[in-house]
Amino acid sequence: MATLYKTAKTEYKDVEDLIEEKDKRSNIKQRVLMVASRGVTFRHRHLMNDLEALLPHSKKESKVEAKQDMDVLNELAEIHNCNNVFYFEARKHTDLYLWMSRAPSGPSFKFHVQNIHTMDELKMTGNCLKGSRPILSFDSNFDSQPHLQLLKEVFTQTFAVPKGARKSKPFFDHVYTFSIVDNRVWFRNFQVVEKDPETGGDMGKDAKPTLVEIGPRFVLNLIRIFEGSFGGPTLYENPRYISPTAVRSAVRNQKATKYDAHLAAKQEREARLKENPLPVDPLKDVFN
């Protein structure tokens, strides 16, 4: 009996330790570090400020120059006690790239940010309390492919405000939607409205809440997924991605081809005039 009691007591302690360890893992605080590179424009900066307002568990760092060594971002995340990093990388003062990484072990995602519309530009009627927790809504296409499933998990850990986070409010009043359209991720932010928008009074019991868009809007075009944080072996590469530099080069080549065709037509017209000169008008000098 004593041996059985000791064995049961030992097994109970083992199970209790496992539960305690699982609770510790589930209560890991998710914090997001937001960093921008040098050369960001005012629209890029306003988008970063909007995301900072939407994520009360985020921390902001001054601009860095991490082109040579991306490990600096992992060190900054460790200093600020953050396990997620948003790195806004601007190139040529026009293109914006977003690095989304799980520091310090990875994985990391590189996106090209397109169709940026900040809250100041949209001026929508929706309004939510600053610091409230969001509801995340994902398109069903996220479950269709493995790399989209991984992307969904990272979005969940990054954009979901953890319970009890600093500057957060203990209720939900807005929704973040992530949709896959044209092989890109479309982000929208909606307020949950439970009152009549015309009268401002409470709706009936059978009425359903409505959604009013707040902003910001942007589209993420996935470029590549890395195994590590800001580097490492490539897990996935988007075969449909075309860099904005290549697009601008194609436009310039098209314009150059059009100009060359115009010059060729002009030279051909001048050659025809030389081959077929007009007859001399005998009355040309009469009225001079």
Cβ–Cβ under 8 Å, residues 138 and 152: yes
36-65 confidence digits (pLDDT tens): 988 888 889 999 999 988 888 888 888 887
Whether 257 is covered by a domain: the verdict is: no
Percentage of the chain surpassing pLDDT 90?
A: 27
What pLDDT score was predicted for residue 130? Answer: 83
Most confident region among 65-69, 192-196, 274-278 by mean pLDDT = 274-278
Going by pLDDT thresholds of 50, 70 and 90, the confidence category of residue 282 is: confident
What pLDDT score was predicted for residue 6? Answer: 42
Q: Give the gyration radius of the chain's Cα atoms.
A: 29
Whether 246 is covered by a domain: the verdict is: no
242-253 per-residue burial string, b: 16 or more CB within 10 A, e: under 16: eebeeeeeeeee
Cβ–Cβ under 8 Å, residues 122 and 215: yes
Whether 278 is covered by a domain: the verdict is: no
pLDDT (mean) for 12-25: 43
**Residue 137 reports pLDDT greater than 80:** yes
Cβ–Cβ under 8 Å, residues 64 and 8: no
Cite the beta strand spans of 57-143 per DSSP E: 58-60, 84-91, 95-102, 108-117, 132-138
d(CA 119, CA 133): 18
Question: What residues are paired with 228 via a beta bridge?
Answer: 231
Which of residues 259 and 41 earns the better pLDDT score? 41
Query: What global pTM score does this model have?
Result: 0.75
pLDDT (mean) for 229-246: 89
Question: What residues are paired with 191 via a beta bridge?
Answer: 174, 212
Nearest Cα to Cα of residue 128 among 186, 209, 213: 213
Tokens at 9, concatenated: 């007591």
What pLDDT score was predicted for residue 276? Answer: 83
Q: Do strands 58-60 and 32-36 pair parallel, antiparallel, or not at all (unpaired)?
A: parallel
Q: Is 21 exposed, middle or buried (0-12, 13-18, 19+ CB in 10 A)?
A: exposed
Contacts of 63 (CB under 8 A, 6+ apart): 35, 36, 37, 38, 40
Tokens at 99, concatenated: 């690095």
Going by pLDDT thresholds of 50, 70 and 90, the confidence category of residue 206 is: low
pLDDT (mean) for 52-79: 84
Whether 103 is covered by a domain: the verdict is: yes
- CATH number of the domain enclosing 192: 3.40.50.10480
**Residue 26 reports pLDDT greater than 90:** no
What pLDDT score was predicted for residue 28? Answer: 56
**Residue 183 reports pLDDT greater than 80:** yes
**Mean model confidence pLDDT for the chain:** 81
Going by pLDDT thresholds of 50, 70 and 90, the confidence category of residue 203 is: low
Number of domains in the chain: 1
d(CA 213, CA 124): 7
pLDDT (mean) for 248-270: 82
Whether 233 is covered by a domain: the verdict is: yes
Name which of 100-109, 254-263, 268-277 the model is least confident about.
254-263
Going by pLDDT thresholds of 50, 70 and 90, the confidence category of residue 99 is: very high
77-98 per-residue burial string, b: 16 or more CB within 10 A, e: under 16: beebebbbbbbbbbeeeebbbb
Q: Do strands 58-60 and 184-193 pair parallel, antiparallel, or not at all (unpaired)?
A: unpaired
The angle at the Cα of 134, spanning 34 to 59, to the nearest 5 degrees, equals: 20
Going by pLDDT thresholds of 50, 70 and 90, the confidence category of residue 184 is: very high
Whether 67 is covered by a domain: the verdict is: yes
The domain containing residue 132 runs over which residues? 23-241
- CB atoms under 10 Å from CB of 156, counted, come to 13
Whether 227 is covered by a domain: the verdict is: yes
Q: Identify the three-state secondary structure at position 129.
A: coil
The amino acid occupying position 246 is: A
What pLDDT score was predicted for residue 188? Answer: 92
Whether 122 is covered by a domain: the verdict is: yes
**Residue 11 reports pLDDT greater than 50:** no
